[in-house]
A and B are shown apart, each in its own frame.
Chain A
Amino acid sequence: MSSSEERKLILKSSDNEEFVVKESSAVQCLTIKNLVEDRCVSDPIPLANVDSKILALVIEFMEKHAETTLSNSEKKEFDVEFVKKPFDDLLELILAANYLDFRELMDVLCNTCAKQMENWSVEEVREKFNIQNDYTVEEEKAARAENPWAFE
């Protein structure tokens, strides 16, 4: 009845680039779906927390997973290739997927992130996530004390 298949949305990244997507693909992101259902859709939809580079990747994933002609195993193959990105990009994508509430993408990214983390030391985690050590010297000693045990 409704022409929602043909309906398009315009998404605008934080750096003001506009992307046209099918509404039917975009509603995989519950954030966008809620806007559509509440009829709060502005034109374009501003996504203040997602820059164009990341938004393009999200849209690539979104459109692939919205394709009804693809089988699940084909989608999985796509996912495997999709996550072969620098860790920094994966982190950016996780934040975007979290913000957009895009469950499928979150699952794929979190699994990848988790798998990579599994052999890291505390220092490696800090380095990859770009986190400064904020322990005092005493706390560091106590925390460090745990580290050897973590590598049995």
Chain B
Amino acid sequence: MRETESLGLCFENMLIFGGGAGGGGRWRISEWKDIPAELLLRILSLVDDRTVVVASGVCHGWRDAISWGLTHISLSWCKKNMNNLVLSFVPNFTKLQVLILRQDAPQLQDNAVETIASYCHDLQELDLSKSFKLTDHSLYTIAHGCPDLTKLNISGCSAFSDSALAYLSRFCRKLKFLNLCGCVKAATDRALKAIGFNCNQLQSLNLGWCDHVGDEGVKSLAYGCPDLRALDLCGCLLIRDESVIALANNCLHLRSLDLYYCQNITDRAMYSLAQSRVKNKHETWDSPKNEYEDEGLTNLNISQCTALTPPAVQALCDSFPALHTCPGRHSLIISGCLNLTSVHCACAVQPHRAANLLSHLAH
């Protein structure tokens, strides 16, 4: 009852104080507990997240105002008791859209994630990286509680299984950004097939060091997620050319690809990327898409892909003007490929066009 009264008072004050038109007939705030929500949130938008948590404990009026307006918060600064903080703080802040809980040392447990999933149904972005202690139960609760998730980071959560991840993909179908770096047990072909089937808006996927990832999984992704722009397959040792060929043919907006240590990759993969570029250019000739989409690959990491030869990689560079080998801007990473040092980007050869590219890319 008291809380409603304070909230009511806050709204009234806010309505009267908002805008600034007109002259007299205004309330005078006699007490700061009745500060208009809008004003309090404006001040709190300038303080660090810890202070926001402190402010929410000052009085009912402030808590209600913050509860009404708070959409983004990070609790990563809490180094020792993050789990308890989530348990007591989150139930009051049901409007949260972005919640960052990245940890240095793993603290979060399933009951905290369950709390988040129970109260924060509007959640769009959740960062649980390094939550080593979480089990599949957490993924099930997120699946049921947060269907609007577009960004999920569970890198380092090594206890999750692929069946739980597949389950989550059936409910969180709006995912655009998914970070599974180090989730070795979760990121298997089985899970990737489910993601490819369910999460068709996916734009960015990090599968770094998930060494169970195979061609069947990546191909499913390529077929199911045509909007894929960034894919990190660093350390995915099993990947062969057919994965890259599927990506080249289906993911026409791909801008960043990381194949570090994918030692089975051969020139075939490079040529398929280069050729898809040519095909893509013709198809998008008449489309109203903006110029930046047309840049193609801007980042490619083929370090330790020792089977590649210079002509194939050069063909790639020639097809993608945004791939650079020049110092300071190099986006074609070839560490450990001693035979590829002759490969060079367009800048070295065509200074005029390079100057245009520079202004083109400087957005």
Using a CB–CB cutoff of 8 Å, the interface residues on chain A facing chain B are 30-31, 34-35, 40, 42, 45-46, 48-49, 91, 94-95, 98-101, 106, 110-111, 113-115, 117-118, 120-122, 125-126, 129-135, 142-150, 152
Contacts and interface: CB of A to CB of B under 8 A. Distances in A.
B43 A110 contact: yes
A149 B20 contact: no
A131 B82 contact: no
A150 B53 contact: yes
Interface stretch (B24-32, B216-224, B275-283): B24-32
Contact of A152 (B60, B61, B81): B81
29 contacts: A31-B20, A31-B21, A31-B23, A34-B20, A34-B22, A42-B23, A46-B23, A49-B26, A98-B36, A100-B20, A110-B46, A111-B46, A114-B44, A115-B46, A117-B47, A118-B50, A118-B51, A120-B54, A122-B54, A125-B54, A125-B55, A126-B59, A134-B2, A134-B6, A134-B60, A147-B57, A149-B81, A149-B85, A150-B54
Interface hub of B31, B36, B58, B89 (most chain A Cβ within 10 A):
B58
Q: Indicate the size class of the contact surface on chain B.
A: 35 or more
Given A118-B51, A152-B78, A125 B43 contact: no
Contacts of B79: 152
Contacts of B51: 114, 117-118, 120
Contacts of A113: 43, 46
The secondary-structure label for the interface of chain A is helix
Interface of B: 2, 6, 17, 19-26, 28-29, 31-33, 36, 39, 42-44, 46-48, 50-51, 53-55, 57-62, 77-82, 84-85, 88-89
B78 A149 contact: yes
Nearest to B47: A114
Given A146-B88, A152-B77, A135 B26 contact: no
B43 to A, nearest CB: 5
